[in-house]
């Protein structure tokens, strides 16, 4: 069985229209609702999309043999940096409700991962109300955590190793659900695109977490670094000598293994480097399919996000390691996937 823990919802156009309306009136017309029917929600998952290489979300999953997918909001749509904060809260709640309806429409095929209303002007404790709602009322199995809710518009909040984030960690541990660390949009005056911003933030915050007291204060905290931890596996050698100066905290690799990582990398070389660096037991299958990688590689004819094929091509992985990567690690980390 293949369980994909890194995926984003394909929402009906009505959600985008709702967002556009909120941004245009800045809350003056009230909250409103996303006026999407069940048929429109199904169409968004089943109709071919030019953004996904001309086939549908479900067709991508069927072609790849993905049995169960954990859906989160589309990160670049999160609009965390918008003001007033109520716009962020309303839009996040409506997006989570759409994810819930997708899960209801396809029982056993999808589970929800909550977006949080991470307005920088709100205390992080206020973000956790939506986490409690999604897990307690909607049956979601985790949350997506954006380490830069400023979205590049100004200097970011402290990195994830800082106590600023502790209210979120407390609730994650209380509810016993993991978080997928995944940044969102990136706007001027930032220099990078949002895709590059993802990698920058994953790199910064992986290092921040493993050099912090977070896992001493929250030994049961489960954090998954998306896109294979950004640049960290590639640059691990730069950090190994420094870690030896604090032997009481373990080697750099020991510290990395306090975190989990997804397999959302689109070359075999990158995926092998991740697995060799942190171990197959700390990696979970994630494809982000369909999404950025849903284009054909002209050299192979495969979809770039056919990560299951990259895993099959790694000759040195044992059968048990493949099973752990594709299914077992997700079952250990996420509760209630079969509920």
Please count the helices (runs of H) and the strands (runs of E) in the chain.
Answer: 14, 8
How many CA atoms lie within 13 Å of 105's alpha carbon, on the beta-carbon side?
19
CA distance 122 to 134: 19
Confidence of residue 223 (pLDDT cuts 50, 70, 90): very high
| pLDDT at residue 305, as a whole number | 97
Q: Kindly report the pTM of this predicted structure.
A: 0.96
| pLDDT at residue 246, as a whole number | 87
- DSSP, collapsed to helix, strand or coil, labels residue 30 as coil
> For residue 179, what are the β-bridge partners?
143, 223
| pLDDT at residue 335, as a whole number | 85
Q: Tally Cβ neighbours within 10 Å of residue 93.
A: 17
| Active-site residue set | 288
CA distance 293 to 306: 8
Judge whether 162 and 53 are in contact, CB under 8 Å. no
Task: Express each pLDDT in 184-213 by its tens digit.
Answer: 999 989 899 999 999 999 999 999 999 999
Judge whether 147 and 168 are in contact, CB under 8 Å. no
Task: Express each pLDDT in 30-60 by its tens digit.
Answer: 999 998 999 999 999 999 999 999 999 999 9
User: Hey, what are 210's tokens?
Assistant: 């493993």
Judge whether 146 and 80 are in contact, CB under 8 Å. yes
Which residue in the block uniquely carries the two structure tokens 């250990």? Answer: 332
CB contact burial 304-314 (16+ within 10 A = b; e otherwise): bbbbbebbeeb
């Amino acid at each position: 069985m293949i369980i994909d823990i890194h995926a984003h919802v394909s929402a009906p156009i009505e959600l985008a229209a709702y967002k556009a309306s909120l941004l245009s009136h800045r809350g003056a017309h009230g909250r409103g609702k996303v006026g999407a029917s069940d048929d429109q929600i199904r169409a968004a998952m089943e109709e071919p999309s030019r953004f996904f290489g001309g086939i549908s979300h479900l067709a991508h999953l069927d072609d790849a043999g993905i049995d169960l997918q954990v859906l989160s909001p589309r990160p670049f749509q999160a609009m965390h940096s918008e003001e007033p904060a109520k716009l962020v809260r309303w839009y996040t709640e409506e997006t989570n409700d759409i994810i819930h309806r997708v899960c209801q429409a396809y029982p056993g095929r999808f589970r929800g991962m909550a977006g949080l209303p991470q307005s920088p002007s709100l205390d992080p404790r206020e973000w956790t109300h939506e986490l409690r709602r999604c897990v307690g009322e909607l049956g979601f199995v985790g949350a997506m955590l954006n380490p830069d809710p400023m979205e590049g518009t100004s200097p970011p909040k402290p990195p994830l190793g800082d106590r600023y984030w502790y209210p979120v960690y407390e609730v994650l541990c209380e509810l016993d659900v993991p978080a997928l660390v995944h940044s969102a949009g990136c706007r001027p005056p930032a220099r990078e695109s949002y895709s590059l911003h993802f990698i920058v933030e994953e790199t910064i915050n992986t290092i921040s977490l493993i050099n912090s007291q977070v896992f001493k204060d929250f030994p049961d905290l489960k954090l998954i670094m998306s896109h294979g931890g950004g640049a960290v596996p590639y640059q691990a050698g730069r950090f190994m000598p420094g870690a030896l100066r604090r032997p009481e905290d373990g080697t750099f690799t020991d510290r990395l293994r306090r975190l989990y990582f997804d397999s959302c990398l689109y070359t075999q070389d990158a995926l092998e480097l991740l697995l060799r660096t942190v171990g197959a037991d700390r990696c979970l299958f994630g494809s982000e399919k369909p999404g950025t990688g849903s284009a054909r590689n002209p050299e192979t004819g495969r979809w770039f996000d056919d990560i299951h094929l990259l895993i099959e091509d790694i000759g040195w992985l044992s059968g048990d390691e493949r099973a752990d990567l594709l299914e077992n690690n997700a079952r250990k980390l996420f509760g209630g996937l079969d509920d």
